[in-house]
């Protein structure tokens, strides 16, 4: 029987995934600051505490390092914790547990244990939350062997990637852009998963490839639609997974379109676009390039509080349009 498809918000899709996972497996439980009665900093967990109780929707103290340590221990003990940070920036306080423990224990213990842990990190700018609450740090985590890192751009993928992450035996970090929580899209009912290692072609084109992440996928699609009016036909790939990166999908696209632009919100230097560019430079697709690769990333500054400066610090649709013209026409 075909699944019924409805329109849900990004936040509703995540909440539905959590509910389904908790109904299917009593080992799944949620941890995080203010995720209980308050419903989460961005109201994602909603009323789950009333449905599943405080033993499975646990408010934690204001100690990210402590909460992450409990989550790692619970995963080692056979539970399936989903830990929510209020802001991705606060995960910096828990890096020891994430990077030195969760990511390494399976390797260091010869595969005798696994750490089936999911961490949800609201990220990105656009809410006026200033420099300490608006960063895009996904490249930090994608640098670490032992972690899987994903970044959905649609409600469909937000649900499917989360359900896949909960079922995965290794730690998965999910970056959820805050501006996406209220966006809406088609989401099937019931249980389904989206692979943790596959990019998706969101728009087919022939004049160049845009590889984008999270909110930048939405902006890239809007920019591609504008450029199409000028006769520039760009392909848009939603990276979805930052570790591992679906290099074959990007290579295939660039081999066809002969041009590449990487668009991401994190700081440009040493960001995810650098890794994608290097992967293409090391592949057979390099010989097909008709223009230099363009990296369009965040400015080399902390995210400003001022709303106009905040917009200027990260790529916007107009920036992608201008870069698309340069990519295809050289100007």
Rg (CA), the chain: 20
Q: What are the backbone angles phi and psi of residue 48, rounded to the nearest 5°? A: -60, -30
| Spatial separation of the C-alpha atoms in residues 19 and 316, rounded to whole Å | 34
| Spatial separation of the C-alpha atoms in residues 233 and 173, rounded to whole Å | 33
| Spatial separation of the C-alpha atoms in residues 33 and 176, rounded to whole Å | 17
* Three-state DSSP state, 176: strand
Alpha-helical (H) ranges within 25-181 are: 48-52, 64-76, 95, 105-108, 138-142, 155-167
Active-site amino acid positions: 64, 133
* Three-state DSSP state, 68: helix
- Residue in the block written with tokens 């985590």: 141
213 neighbors 180 (Cβ within 8 angstroms): no
The dihedral through the CA atoms of 133, 302, 175, 170 has a sign that is negative
Closest Cα partner for 29 from 88, 89, 70?
A: 70
Closest Cα partner for 100 from 31, 142, 140, 146?
A: 146
Per residue in 52-87, is it b (16+ CB within 10 Å) or e — as a string? beeebbbbbeeebbebbbbbbebbbeebbbbbbbbb
């Amino acid at each position: 029987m075909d699944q019924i498809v409805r329109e849900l918000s990004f936040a509703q899709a995540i909440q539905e995934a959590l509910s389904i996972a908790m109904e299917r497996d009593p080992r799944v439980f949620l941890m995080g600051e203010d995720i209980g009665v308050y419903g989460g900093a961005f109201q994602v967990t909603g009323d789950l505490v009333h449905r599943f109780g405080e033993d499975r929707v646990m408010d934690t103290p204001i100690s990210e390092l402590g909460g992450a340590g409990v989550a790692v221990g619970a995963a080692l003990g056979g539970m399936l914790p989903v830990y929510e940070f209020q802001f991705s920036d606060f995960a910096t306080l828990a890096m020891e547990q994430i990077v030195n423990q969760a990511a390494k224990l399976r390797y260091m213990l010869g595969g005798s244990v696994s750490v089936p842990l999911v961490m949800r990190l609201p990220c990105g700018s656009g809410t006026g939350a200033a420099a300490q609450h608006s960063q895009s740090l996904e490249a930090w985590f994608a640098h670490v062997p032992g972690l899987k890192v994903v970044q959905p751009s649609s409600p469909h993928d937000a649900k499917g990637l989360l359900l896949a992450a909960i079922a995965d035996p290794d730690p998965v970090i999910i970056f959820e852009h805050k501006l996406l929580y209220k966006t809406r899209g088609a989401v099937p009912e019931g249980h389904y998963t989206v692979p943790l290692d596959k990019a998706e072609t969101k728009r087919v084109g022939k004049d160049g490839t845009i590889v984008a992440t999270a909110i930048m996928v939405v902006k890239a699609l809007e920019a591609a639609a504008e450029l199409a009016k000028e006769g520039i036909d760009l392909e848009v790939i939603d990276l979805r997974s930052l570790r591992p990166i679906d290099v074959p999908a990007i290579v295939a696209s660039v081999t066809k379109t002969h041009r590449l632009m990487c668009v991401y919100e994190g700081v440009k230097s040493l960001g995810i676009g650098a890794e994608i560019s290097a992967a293409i430079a090391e592949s057979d697709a390099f010989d097909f390039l008709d223009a230099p690769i363009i990296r369009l990333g965040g400015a080399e500054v902390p995210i400003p509080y001022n709303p106009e400066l905040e917009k200027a610090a990260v790529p916007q649709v107009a920036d992608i349009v201008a870069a698309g013209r340069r990519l295809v026409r050289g100007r």
